[in-house]
Amino acid sequence: MSLLNQTGSVIAMNVRSIPQRLWMSLATVGSIALVVAVLLGFLALANGFNQTLKGSGAPDVAIALRDGSAAELNSVISREQIDLLGQGPGVRAGPDGRPLISAELVLIVDGIKKSTDTKANMPLRGIGSNGLLVRPQAKITQGRMFTPGSNEIVVGAGLLREFSGFELGKTLRFGAQTWKVVGVFEAPGTVFESELWADAPVIQSLFKRGSTFQTARVGLTSPAAMPAFVKYVKDEQRLQLKAQSEQTYFADQAERSGLLIKYFGWPLGIIMAIGALAGALNTMYASVSSRAAEIATLRVIGFSGFSAFVGTMVEALVLSALGALVGVAICSVGFNGLSASTLGAGFTQVAFRLQIGPDIISQAVTLALIIGLIGGIFPGLRASRQRPLLALAT
């Protein structure tokens, strides 16, 4: 019999004997599934948050902040600075023929986080008519857009999902003024969906901001126009602002969220994996010792030690692959698309959805297979060293 045939029949025997150790084998599958699920949960959490940040930035929109401000909240921009920005190179013209610049200001109001029932920071963004033009993803899906000059608010669908207090039609009080929620907008997969929007001049006057803004989003003719515009802002002494592409701005923020995975997700995944590996090793050693007589018999007949090794190895890999499958299934059903929120770089809440993708699935499955591989190697070596006669005696 060829080595291949030998190995094939030993593998078949191994896999067929799994039911004899049903509970231990199931425990191995189950514990590996849990490892995969936990790791995948963290990866999906970070992935969802990252994708939301990355999906928010356009390559042909420049965002200008006061030089030295890392976040919109700490920035101040005057009307004059906005006009100067409009004179920069590569600025696209809006429908009215004037430079496409959305001057905006953000302030923080309280919402109630549904999951914890505690107060949370919501960004209330004042925008003008250009606000929607620099955010082509955003669309009003219920109600209508706010009317300029009135105390009206539109609310992002993501915010509505995670927080209460801003339902459509609701009347709100900020200080002495009352506001009405007149519309819901969707901007799927972006941070904007976690915002409240109102008319910028109304916010400036009701919140005593004079005529100052905090940021300017400048639509450029193409992504290629970005470097020249950034350089213009940097060199123009009267501006004292810093411009960057919106894409870079959000990518920087996304980078920081990787820490959660680096310092939490992976260490936990690995610690759990070691625990599961110990379980897998036990199961595989039990498998080898329960089949000691069988293996020895095969060796007497003339089967090689190698086929015994591969048989054990494959059994371990089958168990870990099953575990990975179950873990991925748990995550896909239980976590994928689950809504969550956390405090973003702007000191306000960002709502996002847990997102499972091929790359993170393959990371988690790799971990599972490594468990299977190590869990199979040592017991496999023991199986391959089983002497032909010795074991028959026992």
Partner 1 sequence: MTDFDLVWKNLFRKPLRTILLTVSIFMAFLIFGILTSLNVALDRASESGSASNRLVVSNKINFTQSMPYAYVNRVAAIPGVTAVTYQNWFGAYYQDQRTSRFVGFAVDPETYMAIFRDEARLTDAERQAFLSERTGVIVGKSLADRYGWRVGQTIPISSNIYSQANGRRSWDMKISGIFTGAKPTDPTTAIYFHYDYMNETITFERDQVGTITVVTASPDQNDQVAKAIDANFANSPAETSTVDEKTFSRAFLKQAGDLNFIVTMVVSAAFAAILMIVSTTLVSAMRERTKEIGVMKTLGFSSPRVLRMVLGEAVLLSSLGAVLGLGTSAFILTGLSKSPVGSSFGDLSMSPVVALSGLALAVSLGLVTGAIPALSALRMSIIEALNRG
| Interface with partner 1 (CB under 8 A) | 21, 23-24, 26-28, 30-31, 34-35, 37-38, 41, 68-71, 73-74, 76, 107-110, 113, 115-116, 118-122, 173-176, 207, 268, 271-272, 274-276, 278-279, 281-283, 285-286, 340-343, 347, 349
Instruction: Tell how many helices (H) and how many strands (E) occur in the chain.
Output: 13, 13
| H/E run at residue 230 | helix 226-235
Instruction: Look at the alpha carbons of 60, 131, 214, 260 in this order and tell me if their dihedral is positive or negative.
Output: negative
Closer residue to partner 1 (CB): 245 or 349: 349
Distance of closest approach, residue 309 Cβ to partner 1, in angstroms: 18
Distance of closest approach, residue 167 Cβ to partner 1, in angstroms: 18
Closer residue to partner 1 (CB): 4 or 393: 393
Closer residue to partner 1 (CB): 119 or 144: 119
Closer residue to partner 1 (CB): 230 or 350: 350
Distance of closest approach, residue 106 Cβ to partner 1, in angstroms: 11
| H/E run at residue 242 | strand 241-245
Amino acid identity of residue 59, one-letter, is P
Closer residue to partner 1 (CB): 60 or 193: 193
Distance of closest approach, residue 363 Cβ to partner 1, in angstroms: 18
Strands 241-245 and 215-219, sheet pairing = unpaired
Amino acid identity of residue 11, one-letter, is I
Cβ atoms within 10 A of the Cβ of 318, count? 18
Closer residue to partner 1 (CB): 141 or 177: 177
Strands 139-143 and 339-343, sheet pairing = unpaired
Closer residue to partner 1 (CB): 173 or 238: 173
Distance of closest approach, residue 46 Cβ to partner 1, in angstroms: 12
Residues 70, 64 contacting (CB under 8 angstroms): no
Distance of closest approach, residue 349 Cβ to partner 1, in angstroms: 7
Distance of closest approach, residue 248 Cβ to partner 1, in angstroms: 15
Give buried/exposed letters for 72-99 (b at 16+ CB in 10 A, else e). Answer: bbebebeeebbebbeebebbbebeeeeb
Residues 284, 379 contacting (CB under 8 angstroms): yes
Q: Collapsing DSSP states into helix, strand and coil, what is residue 382?
A: helix
